[in-house]
């Protein structure tokens, strides 16, 4: 009888231990390769720098109605259970609305629902819009040891459904938080609108495509506003920097003011992107003009589609003349 009681008690202890371990494991981010053992909370200043200048991106650069600018930033700190957006996967309805129209309501609801259902979200943050292609905006965010990942989106304005952002950047390295990190940003297509240019009319992609990175050669179409076939890679269109705040800096914006000089140097040193002249196809030949029984001339023309910029290849001749025999002579 005593042996049976000993076996029963041993099983109960083992079962209690298993339940405790499983309960702890369920509170950790699923799929994380490394567990964050740093102090529970960390605050960061996040600075977004727009580098969308006419020098770096001369093709179809939007100057009017509306000019080049950036939407507000919408971001979240979270665990690996949650994903705001991911390359080569379908954008959610919230990301679609934000990328196409800058509307954040549906995306906010998606974030809140994820936080309530699986407790995968620690906090939401936002930063003001930038009214030009170059400039800065900033805010603060709070990360948690069980929610050390950062994701955000900023819409490119104007555009069909293009944006920049970060997907699940880990601010924790084992037992400590990263002190500072900077990431160059490149344009992405949300896969929900089929426009090629900044000012394309709304034309829904049916069926919806996945989120893809826009490069200097993809989409491979001359109409693409980011199509620069002579480049190997696009220059960064933006940059984000996150700086860990010390406890005596919490709630202060001072770290932001220490960074613009470095950021402005980056903007000023951006290499000029050469843009070659683009011309139309030749028109058909005009009528042959001249005296009867003598060689006459006829002309064909073409026009400039895109003016050259930044020492790109200049435009060729826009008219061409050749000899001909006048017809219908009397």
Q: What is the pLDDT of residues 241-288, one digit of tens each?
A: 999 998 765 554 444 444 433 333 344 455 677 777 787 888 888 888
pLDDT of residue 78: 95
Single residue among 244, 266, 298 that ends a domain in this structure: 244
Task: Please determine, for residue 37, whether its predicted confidence score (pLDDT) is greater than 50.
Answer: yes
Residues 238 and 105 in one domain: yes
Beta-ladder partners of 317: none
Residues 223 and 315 in one domain: no
Residues 288 and 183 in one domain: no
> What is the pLDDT averaged over residues 10-21?
44
Residues 239 and 282 in one domain: no
Residues 305 and 209 in one domain: no
Task: Please determine, for residue 9, whether its predicted confidence score (pLDDT) is greater than 70.
Answer: no
Residue 31's pLDDT band, with cuts at 50, 70 and 90, is very low
Residues 92 and 155 in one domain: yes
The domain in which residue 283 lies consists of 278-324
pLDDT of residue 255: 43
> What is the pLDDT averaged over residues 1-28?
43
Residues 234 and 294 in one domain: no
pLDDT of residue 247: 75
Please tell me the total count of domains within the chain: 2
Task: Please determine, for residue 212, whether its predicted confidence score (pLDDT) is greater than 90.
Answer: yes
This prediction's pTM = 0.74
Mean pLDDT score across all residues of the chain: 83
> What is the pLDDT averaged over residues 27-38?
60
The CATH number linked to 160 is 2.60.40.2130
Task: Please determine, for residue 39, whether its predicted confidence score (pLDDT) is greater than 80.
Answer: yes
pLDDT of residue 29: 41
pLDDT digits (tens, 9 = 90+) for 119-148: 899 999 999 999 999 999 999 999 999 999
> What is the pLDDT averaged over residues 152-165?
97
Single residue among 198, 219, 244 that ends a domain in this structure: 244
pLDDT of residue 329: 67
> What is the pLDDT averaged over residues 302-319?
78
Residues 74 and 148 in one domain: yes
Residues 170 and 120 in one domain: yes
pLDDT digits (tens, 9 = 90+) for 70-126: 999 999 999 999 999 999 999 999 999 999 999 999 999 999 988 887 789 999 999
> What is the pLDDT averaged over residues 313-320?
83
pLDDT of residue 251: 53
pLDDT greater at residue 22 or residue 158? 158
Residues 232 and 286 in one domain: no
Residues 294 and 218 in one domain: no
Q: What percent of the chain has pLDDT over 90?
A: 56
């Amino acid at each position: 009888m005593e042996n049976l009681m000993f076996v029963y008690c041993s099983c109960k202890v083992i079962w209690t231990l298993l339940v405790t371990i499983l309960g702890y494991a369920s509170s950790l981010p699923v799929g994380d390769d490394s567990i964050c053992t740093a102090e529970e909370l960390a605050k960061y200043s996040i600075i977004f720098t727009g580098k969308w200048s006419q020098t770096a991106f001369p093709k179809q650069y939007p100057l009017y109605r509306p000019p080049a600018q950036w939407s507000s930033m919408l971001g979240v700190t979270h665990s690996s259970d949650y994903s705001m957006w991911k390359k080569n996967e379908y954008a959610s309805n919230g990301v679609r609305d934000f990328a196409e129209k800058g509307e954040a309501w549906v995306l906010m609801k998606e974030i809140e629902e994820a936080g309530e259902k699986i407790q995968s979200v620690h906090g939401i943050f936002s930063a003001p819009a930038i009214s030009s292609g170059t400039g800065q905006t900033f805010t603060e965010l709070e990360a948690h040891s069980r929610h050390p990942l950062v994701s955000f989106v900023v819409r490119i304005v104007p555009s069909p459904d293009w944006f920049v952002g970060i997907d699940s950047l880990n601010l924790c390295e084992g037992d400590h938080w990263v002190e500072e990190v900077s990431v160059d940003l490149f344009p992405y297509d949300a896969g929900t609108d089929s426009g090629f240019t900044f000012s394309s009319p709304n034309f829904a992609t049916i069926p919806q495509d996945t989120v893809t990175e826009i490069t200097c050669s993809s989409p491979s179409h001359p109409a693409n506003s980011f199509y620069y076939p002579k480049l190997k890679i696009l220059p960064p269109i933006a940059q984000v920097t996150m700086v860990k705040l010390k406890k005596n800096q919490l709630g202060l914006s001072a770290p932001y003011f220490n960074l613009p000089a470095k950021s402005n140097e980056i903007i000023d040193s951006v290499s000029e992107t050469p843009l070659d002249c683009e011309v139309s196809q030749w028109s058909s030949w005009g009528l042959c003009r001249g005296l009867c029984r003598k060689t006459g001339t006829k002309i064909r023309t073409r026009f400039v589609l895109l003016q050259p910029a930044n020492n790109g290849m200049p435009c060729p001749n826009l008219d061409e003349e050749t000899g001909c025999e006048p017809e219908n002579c009397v």
